[in-house]
């Protein structure tokens, strides 16, 4: 199904937020995730279901001064 | 010892994690710097170019992580980014940066003050990147900041202590730790800031983009220690003319 992840439209097989971050190989990272503008807590990754055209923002820490 | 927001640190050098060629170089440079406070930025993950996990390379047991609000152009964006860092699990420390102008990256004093008030009220330990304005430093202190971080010169410019006269006044007046941030290019710039009585300095570009970041991290560590030790020892006043070091009596 098509998902809009960080502004880019892509096809994914993932059905939950957890499956999505595993697909993206981000599952061991500290992340901040919003699903359609709503923050998703880590303990909700498993139960947060995805549907066609959902908009997901994934933020992580990067190098900075 | 340096004390910020109730936490004590033996190192007075804070390092940034931007612009390193790899996580392993960064990790080694942080170790060589002796730093116990390390800054990170928060960004959307680039799906086409997933970078190494920076957090994995930082030893949380020894190091206080300091997420910055870089990229924020006003108070509300900075507040949003600070909350994202806290919700992510990075703790309640934040280096507040509000920089509307991308060319010089100078901080907006009004929105910086507004964001400091709000974030301090919401339980953040706010370390504030600011222009070297002594009056603003006092206002930020009143607003609940835990440290002020006046810029030496524009971020990443390596131009050194261009604002030294104003930083001197900030150090004289401040009840908060003063961390000289931005623009320090060489170890001697850092040493000079520490000799003036700065409580700490923050260095990123000068270490990360040098030919040998690990060696440069060590050089900054030594310069910060030398500058601080000199400050504590009491640097003598300068004079207009010569005063002989050898005895003036019994000259042959």
pLDDT (mean) for B179-190: 97
- Structural domains of chain A, ranges and CATH numbers in brackets: 2-60 (3.10.20.30)
Rg (CA), chain B: 19
Q: CB-CB: which of B47, B88, B204 is closest to A8?
A: B47
How many residues are there in chain A? 65
pLDDT of residue B117: 98
pLDDT > 90? residue B54: no
Active site residue B215: no
Report yes or no: B15 and B33 within 8 Å, Cβ to Cβ. Answer: yes
Record: contact A63-B54, CB cut-off 8 A: yes
DSSP structural state of residue B178: B
CB B169 within 8 A of CB B197: no
- Please compute the mean of the pLDDT values over residues B15-30 and round it to a whole number: 95
Q: Domain ranges for chain B, please list them.
A: 2-233
Average pLDDT of B136-154? 97
Going by C-alpha positions, the residue among B76, A54, B23 that lies closest to residue B84 is B76
Which CATH number describes the domain made up of B2-233? 3.20.20.70
Percent of chain B at pLDDT > 70 equals 100
Per-residue pLDDT, B46: 87
Structure tokens given for B118: 């709000």
Q: Hey, what are B107's tokens?
A: 């901080």
Task: Please write the tens of the pLDDT for every residue from B104-135.
Answer: 999 999 999 999 999 999 999 999 999 999 99
- pLDDT one digit per residue (tens) for chain A, 65 residues: 999 999 999 999 999 999 999 999 898 889 999 999 999 999 999 999 999 999 999 999 999 99
Alpha-carbon distance B200 to B7, whole Å?
14
Residue B142, pLDDT score: 98
Residue to mutate among B30, B43, B45, B180, with most A CBs inside 10 A, is B45
Return the structure tokens found at B115: 């964001």
Centre a 10 Å sphere on the Cβ of residue B224 and count the other Cβ atoms it contains. Answer: 26
CB contact under 8 A, B40 and A63: yes
Q: Which chain A residue has its CA at the smallest distance from B41's CA?
A: A64
Q: What does the pLDDT average to over B169-191?
A: 97
- Closest alpha carbon within chain A to B15: A65
Q: Mean pLDDT over residues B56-66, rounded? A: 90
Q: How sure is the predictor about B50, in pLDDT bands with cuts at 50, 70 and 90?
A: confident
pLDDT of residue B230: 98
What pLDDT does B188 receive?
A: 98
* Chain A CB within 8 Å of residue B90 CB: yes
Cβ atoms < 10 Å from Cβ of B240: 4
pLDDT at B96 over 90: yes
CA-to-CA distance for B96 and A45, rounded, in angstroms?
Answer: 29
DSSP, collapsed to helix, strand or coil, labels residue A43 as helix
Which of B39, B47, B90, B220 is the best residue to mutate to test the A interface, defined by the most A CB atoms within 10 Å of its own CB? B47
What is the torsional sign of CA B116, B120, B124, B125?
positive
**Residue in A24, A30, A42 closest to B55 by CB:** A30
| Selection from B41, B35, B114, B32 nearest residue B71 by Cα | B41
Contacting residues for B110 by C-beta, under 8 A, at least 6 apart: none
Task: Out of B19, B27, B80, B95, pick the active-site residue.
Answer: B95
Q: How high does pLDDT run on average in chain B?
A: 96
Yes or no, beta carbons of B43 and A28 under 8 Å apart = no
Q: CA–CA separation, A24 vs A28, rounded Å?
A: 11
CB contact under 8 A, A63 and B20: yes
Contacts of A21 (CB under 8 A, 6+ apart): A27, A31, A33, A45, A58
ipTM of the complex: 0.91
Q: Any chain A CB within 8 A of the CB of B87?
A: yes
The mean per-residue pLDDT over the stretch B18-32 comes to: 95
B139 vs B116: CA distance, rounded Å: 10
| B195-216 average pLDDT score | 98
Which stretches of chain B are DSSP H helices? 23-33, 75-88, 109-121, 134-142, 164-173, 187-195, 205-208, 213-233
| Residue B174 at interface with chain A, using a CB cutoff of 8 Å | no
Quick one: average pLDDT of B207-215?
98
A34 contacts in chain B (CB < 8 Å)? none
Chain B residues whose beta carbon lies within 8 Å of the beta carbon of residue A5: 47
With bands split at pLDDT 50, 70 and 90, how would you rate the model's confidence at B53?
Answer: confident
User: With an 8 Å Cβ cutoff, are B45 and A58 in contact?
Assistant: yes
Which residues 6+ apart lie within 8 Å of A11 measured at CB? A1, A2, A3
- Chain B residues in contact with A64 (beta carbon < 8 A): 16-18, 39-42, 68, 70, 204
Which residue is listed with tokens 């190192």? B11
């Amino acid at each position: 199904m098509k998902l809009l992840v960080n502004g880019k439209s892509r096809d994914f097989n993932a059905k939950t937020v957890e499956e999505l971050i595993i697909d993206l190989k981000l599952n061991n990272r500290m992340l901040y995730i919003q699903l359609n503008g709503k923050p998703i807590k880590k303990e909700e990754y498993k139960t947060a279901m995805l549907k066609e055209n959902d908009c997901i923002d994934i933020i992580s820490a990067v190098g900075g001064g | 010892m340096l004390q910020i927001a109730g936490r004590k640190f033996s190192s007075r050098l804070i390092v940034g994690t931007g612009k390193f060629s790899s996580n392993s170089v960064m990790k080694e440079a942080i170790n060589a710097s002796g730093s116990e406070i390390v800054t990170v930025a928060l960004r959307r993950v680039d799906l086409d170019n997933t970078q190494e996990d920076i957090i994995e390379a930082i030893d949380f047991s020894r190091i206080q992580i300091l997420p910055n609000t870089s990229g924020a152009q006003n108070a509300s964006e900075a507040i949003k980014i600070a909350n994202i860092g806290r919700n992510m699990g990075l703790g309640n420390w934040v280096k507040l940066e509000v920089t509307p102008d991308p060319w010089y990256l100078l901080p907006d004093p009004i929105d910086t003050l507004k964001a400091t008030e709000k974030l301090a009220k919401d339980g953040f330990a706010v370390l504030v990147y600011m222009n070297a304005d002594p009056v603003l430093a006092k206002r930020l202190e009143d607003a609940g900041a835990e440290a002020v971080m006046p810029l030496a010169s524009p971020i990443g410019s390596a131009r050194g202590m261009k604002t030294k006269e104003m930083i001197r006044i900030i150090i004289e007046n401040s009840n908060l730790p003063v961390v000289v941030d931005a623009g320090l290019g060489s170890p001697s710039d850092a040493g000079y800031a520490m000799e003036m009585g700065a409580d700490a300095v923050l260095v990123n570009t000068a270490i990360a983009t040098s030919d040998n970041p690990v060696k440069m991290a060590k050089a900054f560590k030594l310069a910060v220690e030398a500058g601080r030790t000199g400050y504590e020892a009491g640097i003598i006043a300068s004079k207009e003319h010569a005063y002989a070091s050898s005895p003036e009596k019994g000259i042959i």
